[in-house]
């Protein structure tokens, strides 16, 4: 029968093609960029880890995984940048060995997560500091300077023109256009919005009437979905202003505003200034749970105030992958692990906090 003959033929071709494909696949086993050879050596545990969560720390994770796997041949780690909420849900369901999240576990999530850790509790370990850039697209305006109350008014549609006196007062000499401001916000829920509104609600208490939340609650403005959507919207809309993680701002070459910090200086966003921004952070959690509370009005000189801390959520005890987790996080919380992220748009943890994270990781069993 023709059908069968050609069917076999097709199956044969498909099989051959699959085999041919199978023969030549590579997992990029010896990464070239795996600098800092000492970072993970002597600290390897063979085994695999599956994790997902915040997309804000995806680039950091990729970099860490690359170095770690380069050092430890038998280790296999997979991190999917789905979203903080999805990461926590996966951790609670047991499909993720750890979760990356832009905010610490909520009260109602804590007991559910603890249930996955027989004999222990789920810890929030701060691991990466990601600065949030205030990006804008206004013709002829460079080095825009803004303070928190102005930002709050812009995003609440109280300031609607670029040459508003409030903006002009902070940018003497700049030629501000007489055009409307389009305030772009994330239309989907996100940790970036949560941390940005947290900043506004603390640093501009009087002006920002909305609490912080992952969903955008303020009036007016226009929405865009996902970080890349926000970045493209700002890039393509004259008069737009928004907030986005630093790496997206840099990929689209967007202009970043200088933000006034607690010491009264307008600070440019750099890795260093963002690191200083988190220096005054206080630890809210108890014991090894290192939930941070950032002081957005701290008077640290040279600090960039709008930063988000992303956490790793892990079991203090009782995880079947405790050994693998411990080895991996020992590397990420080491000085080497932190400095590996320098030019990726992240800031290293301040030394005091990093030390505590290291201690907490060491106690995982």
Partner 1 sequence: MGDNPSRSENATAGDLGVTGRHARGAGTGVSPRSYEEPPFGGGGALPKKTRFGMEAGFKGLSVAAGAMVLVIIVAIAVFLISKAVPAINADTENFLTYKSWFPNDTEPKFGIAVLAFGTVLTSIIALLVAVPIALGIALFLSHYAPKRLATPLGFVIDLLAAVPSVVFGLWGRDVFLEPVRNFSLWLNEYFSWIPIFGGDGPFGRSVLLGSLVLAIMVLPIVTSLSREVFMQTPGMNEEAALALGATKWEMVRTAVLPYGKPGVIAAVMLGLGRALGETIALALTLGVVFNISFNIIENGGNSIAANIANSFGEANETGRGALIASGLVLFAITLVVNMAARAIIYRRREFRDSAA
Partner 2 sequence: MSLLERESAGVVMTPDNIRSQKLHPGLNIGIAVAALVVGMAVAYGFGIGNYVLGVVLGVVFYLVGLQIVAGRIEGRRAARDRMWKTLIYAACVLAILPLASVVWTLISKGVGRLDGDFFGSSMNNIGARDPDGGAYHAIIGTLEQVGIATLMAVPLGVLGAIYLVEYGRGKFATTVRFFVDVMTGIPSIVAGLFILSFWVLIVSPWFNNGTPRFSGFAASLALTVLMLPTIVRSTEEMLRLVPGPLREGAYALGVPQWKTILKVVVPTALPGIVTGVMLAVARAAGETAPVLLVAGGAAAINFDPFAGGQQSLSLFVYQQAGDASRYAPARAWTAALTLVAIVLVLTVAAKLLARRNSLSK
Question: Interface residues with partner 2 (CB under 8 A)?
Answer: 2-3, 6-7, 10, 18, 21-22, 24-29, 31, 33-34, 48, 50, 52, 55, 58-59, 62-63, 65-66, 69-70, 76, 78-82, 93-95, 226-228, 245, 247-248, 251, 320, 343-345
Residue 35, contacted partner among partner 1, partner 2, none, CB below 5-8 A by kind: none
The distance of Cα 39 from the centroid of its chain, to the nearest Å, equals 23
Query: In terms of CB distance, is 116 or 214 closer to partner 2?
Result: 116
- CB 344 to partner 1: min, Å: 22
- CB 349 to partner 2: min, Å: 19
Q: In what order do the strands lie in the sheet with 266-267?
A: 145-146, 258-260, 266-267
Query: In terms of CB distance, is 28 or 172 closer to partner 2?
Result: 28
Determine the Cα–Cα distance for residues 166 and 243; give it in Å rounded to an integer: 19
- C-alpha separations of 124 from 109, 117, 251, 312 in Å: 12, 13, 30, 6
Residue with tokens 């603890």: 114
Residue 22, contacted partner among partner 2, partner 1, none, CB below 5-8 A by kind: partner 2
- CB 204 to partner 2: min, Å: 28
- CB 155 to partner 2: min, Å: 23
Are 207 and 149 a contacting pair, CB within 8 Å? yes
Residue 150, contacted partner among partner 1, partner 2, none, CB below 5-8 A by kind: none
Are 248 and 227 a contacting pair, CB within 8 Å? yes
Residue 114, contacted partner among partner 1, partner 2, none, CB below 5-8 A by kind: none
Handedness of CA 312, 315, 317, 320 (dihedral sign): negative
- CB 210 to partner 1: min, Å: 12
Residue 213, contacted partner among partner 1, partner 2, none, CB below 5-8 A by kind: partner 1
Which tokens is 131 given? 């600065």
In the complex, which residues of this chain contact partner 1 (CB under 8 A)?
1, 3-4, 82-86, 88-89, 108-109, 180, 182, 184, 187-191, 213-215, 217, 222-226, 229, 232-233, 236-237, 240
- CB 299 to partner 2: min, Å: 32
Are 309 and 211 a contacting pair, CB within 8 Å? no
Task: Tell me which H or E stretch contains 186.
Answer: strand 182-186
Query: In terms of CB distance, is 73 or 215 closer to partner 2?
Result: 73
Are 314 and 364 a contacting pair, CB within 8 Å? yes
Determine the Cα–Cα distance for residues 283 and 148; give it in Å rounded to an integer: 24
Query: In terms of CB distance, is 18 or 363 closer to partner 2?
Result: 18
Residue 245, contacted partner among partner 1, partner 2, none, CB below 5-8 A by kind: partner 2
Which residues have C-beta within 8 Å of that of residue 347, sequence separation ≥ 6?
Answer: 129, 130, 131, 271, 272, 274, 275, 277, 278, 307
Residue 59, contacted partner among partner 2, partner 1, none, CB below 5-8 A by kind: partner 2
Residue 58, contacted partner among partner 1, partner 2, none, CB below 5-8 A by kind: partner 2
- CB 304 to partner 2: min, Å: 19
- CB 165 to partner 2: min, Å: 36
Query: In terms of CB distance, is 78 or 211 closer to partner 2?
Result: 78
Determine the Cα–Cα distance for residues 166 and 221; give it in Å rounded to an integer: 18
Phi, psi of 338 (to 5 degrees): -70, -40
Question: Do strands 258-260 and 266-267 pair parallel, antiparallel, or not at all (unpaired)?
Answer: antiparallel
Q: Classify residue 33 by burial, with Cβ atoms within 10 Å: 0-12, 13-18, 19+.
A: exposed
């Amino acid at each position: 029968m023709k059908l069968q003959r050609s069917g076999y033929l097709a199956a044969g071709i498909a099989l051959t093609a699959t085999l041919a494909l199978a023969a030549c696949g590579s997992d990029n086993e010896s990464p070239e960029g795996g600098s800092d050879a000492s970072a993970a050596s002597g600290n390897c545990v063979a085994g695999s880890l599956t994790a997902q969560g915040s997309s804000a720390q995806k680039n950091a994770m990729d970099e860490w995984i690359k170095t770690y796997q380069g050092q430890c041949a038998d280790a296999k780690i997979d991190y999917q940048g789905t979203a903080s909420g999805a990461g926590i849900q996966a951790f609670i369901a047991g499909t993720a060995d750890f979760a990356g999240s832009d905010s610490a576990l909520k009260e109602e999530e804590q007991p559910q997560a603890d249930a996955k850790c027989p004999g222990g509790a789920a810890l929030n370990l701060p691991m990466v500091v990601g600065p949030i850039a205030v990006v804008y697209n206004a013709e002829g305006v460079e080095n825009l300077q803004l303070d928190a109350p102005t930002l709050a008014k812009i995003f609440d549609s109280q300031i609607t023109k670029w040459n508003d006196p409030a903006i002009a007062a902070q940018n003497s000499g700049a030629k501000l256009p007489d055009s409307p401001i389009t305030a772009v916000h994330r239309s989907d829920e996100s940790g970036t919005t949560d941390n940005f509104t947290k900043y506004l609600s603390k640093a501009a208490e009087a002006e920002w009437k909305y609490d912080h939340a992952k969903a955008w609650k303020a009036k007016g403005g226009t929405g865009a979905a996902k970080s890349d959507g926000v970045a493209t919207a700002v890039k393509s809309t004259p008069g737009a202003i928004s907030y986005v993680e630093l790496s997206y701002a840099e990929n689209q070459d967007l202009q970043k505003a200088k933000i006034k910090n607690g010491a009264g200086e307008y600070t440019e966003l750099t890795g260093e200034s963002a690191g200083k921004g988190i220096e005054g952070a206080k630890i809210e959690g108890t014991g090894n749970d290192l939930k941070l509370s950032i002081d957005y009005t701290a008077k640290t000189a040279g600090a960039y105030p709008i930063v988000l801390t992303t956490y790793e959520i892990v079991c203090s005890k009782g995880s079947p992958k405790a050994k693998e987790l411990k080895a991996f996080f020992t590397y990420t919380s080491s000085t080497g692990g932190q400095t590996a992220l320098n030019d990726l748009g992240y800031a290293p943890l301040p030394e005091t906090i990093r030390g505590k994270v290291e201690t907490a990781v060491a106690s995982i069993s």
